[in-house]
Amino acid sequence: MTSAERELGGWFSVDAEIGCDVRPAALSDDLVSTIDYGAVAARIVEIGTGQRVNLLERLAGQVAEALLREYPCHEVRVRLRKLTPPMGGVPGIPGVEVRRRR
């Protein structure tokens, strides 16, 4: 992380896939039977705007571990991309993907 990034922050894109049994929700059509994806999104934002980290790998790992710990799932996959990287004019969007299982 550069000094400018530490001062200004950055923009990220996060994709989170949660592996869980959706049969109860499919049968009941009731939010109580599944994971509230709005709550998941809010939790990801909370983690991402909390304590600063230096590496994409660390932030993706923190998100994955929190989702596994806080929601009834057996697997998560988190893809995190830095949308505003200081790469000296080189085009591209760096990113990482982490998977965690119980």
Residues assigned a catalytic role: 82
If you ran DSSP here, which 8-state letter would residue 38 be given?
H
Alpha-carbon gap, residue 2 to 87, rounded angstroms = 10
Cβ contacts of 101 within 8 Å, gap of 6 or more: 68, 74, 75
Contact indicator for 14, 79 with CB cutoff of 8 Å: yes
